[in-house]
Amino acid sequence: MARVEAFLAEQVSVRAEALALTDSTGAVWSFGDLDRASDALADVLREAGVVANDRVLMLSENCTAAVAALFASWKLDAVIIPVNARQTEAEVTRIIDHATPAAVLMTTGVSKDALSHAKGMGATEQSGAFGTLHMAKRPSNPDADLHDVATLLYTTGTTGDPKGVMLTHENMRFGGIASSNLRNMTADDVVYGALPLTHVFGLVSVITGACYSGATVQQEARFSAKGLYEAVMNGVTILPAVPQMHALVMQYTKEQGLTRLGSPSLRYVSSGGAPLDPAWKRKAEAFYGLPLQNGFGMTETCSGASATNNALGSPDISVGPKTPGTEVRIDDQAPGGNGEGIGELLVRGPHVMKGYYRNPVETAKSLDPDGWLRTGDLGKIDEIGHIHILGRSKELIIHGGFNVYPPEVEAALNDHPQVIQSAVIGRMKDGDEEVLAFVQIAEGDPLEAADLRGFVAERLTGYKRPKQIVLASTLPAAPTGKILKHKLLEAFADQLE
C-alpha cells in the first residue's frame, strides 16, 4: 500500500536540503530537517508505547512541530488525529473518549491554548529535533480496523454521535496529488499556510499537496489579514483560502488606502468553503489582479471533488467540473430537491472516506454499498458539466412554502460596498421559517439595517428578503475564518426581535 510518508521520502532522496517549511516562530526546515524531526518524534512516541494502529491525537496550531507529528505517526503506522487547540476542554474530552488515543501531543511552542490543555492533562515537555511540545501518555489500544487509515478528522458539531472521518493513505495521496496538479504546483512555489492543518483543506490541499510537489509552506499559527497581506507581498505564490479570509484582507488593504493588492509573486488564488456571487468575484479578481478559482470539497471527500480553472474575468461562479478520477451525480428526489435537476450532490472516487470511526449507523447513512457519498449539499450540474452548489440541505429555508437558498441571499447582501461578509439562516417562528441575516461591517461604519434592507429589496423577491438584518463588526468564526452559523442565534440573542 502506497503511503503518505512516501512523499517525504521522495523529496529527501532527491532534494533533502530544499526548503520545506517555515512557521511563525522563525523555524526554517528543509525536507531533510522534517525527516529528521519526524524520526526523532517517532522515537518519543515509540518509547511512550505507541504501536501500529494506535491513535495519536494532536492538539495544535500550525507550526513545524505539528507537521513533524503527522509524519512521525505515519512512520509508526499509527493514525494521527489533528484537533485545533482552540477547542474547549469539553470538546477535546469528547473526542478523546471516542477515539481513545495512545498519546496526546500538544504544540505548546506556538499555542497558549495547547499549553492550557497540557497543564490540564498533566502532560510532560518533550524536546528534540522537532522543537518543543508536550505529551500525555495513555493506554495503548491498537485497532486493526484502522490498518489502512492515515488520519481521523472529527467534523465540527456539538450534538449527536461523534463523527471521526477515516481518511486512508490512498485518500490523502489522491487528494494531495489532485490539489498539486490543480494548482500546477512546483518546487519553486511558496504556499501560504494559514488554513489550519487540523482541517482537511490545510492538511490535504496544502501540506500533503506541497510535500508531493516539493513546494514550501509558509505556516501561520493564526490567520490575520495583516499577516496574509505581508505574506503575499513577500514571496508567497499560491494562496488557498476561504471567502472570509479574502474579505478580511480586502478590508485591511482598503484601510491602508489601497484598492488592489499588487503582489509581485502571487500567481494562484483559490476560494473554497462557500459559494461565490458574481459581484464579489469581480471585486476579488480586481483586487488580486488574478482569476479567483473556486472549488467544492468536504472532510469526507478528502478536500476537493471539483474545481475551476478559469481565466481572469470569467463570469463562471460554479465550483467547476469534477476533478479527474471523481464521479458526481444529482439526486433530485432527495429532501430539498425539486425533481427537475436540483437535488443532493453525490460523490464517488478514490478520495471518498472509508467511513466514520466506530459509527456504523452514520456511515450507512452517508455511504451507500456502491460507494456513493451523500454530501448533504444541494446543487445542480449545468449543460457543460460544471457543478453549482446551492447550499446545505439542512440549511435550506422554507419560508411561506417557498425554498430560500441562503447563498443567494448572502450574495445580494455582499453586493453592498460596505458589507465585508454575511451569513443567512432560518428561524422557526409561528409555524414558519423566518429569514435572518447577520452582516459584518467595519467597526464604526454608519451603515444602517434599513439602508441594507432597501438595497436587497431591489435584488430579491419578497419571500427571500431577510425578516431582520443584524449588523456587527465581527461574526463567530472557525479558525479557518468560516462563519459558524450554528452559533449566530446564541451570539446575537439580545438583538433578535
CATH of 396-495, one of 3.30.300.30, 3.40.50.20, 3.40.50.450, 3.40.50.720: 3.30.300.30
The per-residue pLDDT for range 173-195, each reduced to its tens digit, is: 999 999 999 999 999 999 999 99
Residues in the chain: 497
User: Which residue, among 341, 338, 339, 318, has the nearest Cα to 329 in the 3D structure?
Assistant: 341
The per-residue pLDDT for range 46-72, each reduced to its tens digit, is: 999 999 999 999 999 999 999 999 999
The per-residue pLDDT for range 155-164, each reduced to its tens digit, is: 854 345 568 9
For residues 12-23, average pLDDT: 98
The per-residue pLDDT for range 320-374, each reduced to its tens digit, is: 999 999 999 999 998 878 888 999 999 999 999 999 999 999 999 999 999 999 9
What's this model's pTM, rounded to 2 decimal places? Answer: 0.85
Q: Taking all residues of the chain, what is their mean pLDDT, rounded to a whole number?
A: 92
Contact (Cβ atoms closer than 8 angstroms) between residue 276 and residue 228: no
Architecture of the domain delimited by 5-170: 3-Layer(aba) Sandwich (3.40)
- Greater confidence (283 vs 236) lies with 236
Dist. CA 208–CA 210, nearest whole Å: 5
User: Which residue, among 329, 345, 485, 344, has the nearest Cα to 407 in the 3D structure?
Assistant: 485
Q: Percentage of the chain surpassing pLDDT 90?
A: 75
43 grid coordinates = 522515537
The CATH classification number of 223-393 equals 3.40.50.12780
Given this chain, do its domains 223-393 and 396-495 carry the same CATH topology? no
Dist. CA 113–CA 111, nearest whole Å: 5
Residue 75, SS3 per DSSP: helix
**In the chain, what are the domain boundaries?**
5-170, 223-393, 396-495
Contact (Cβ atoms closer than 8 angstroms) between residue 95 and residue 153: no
Dist. CA 363–CA 302, nearest whole Å: 16
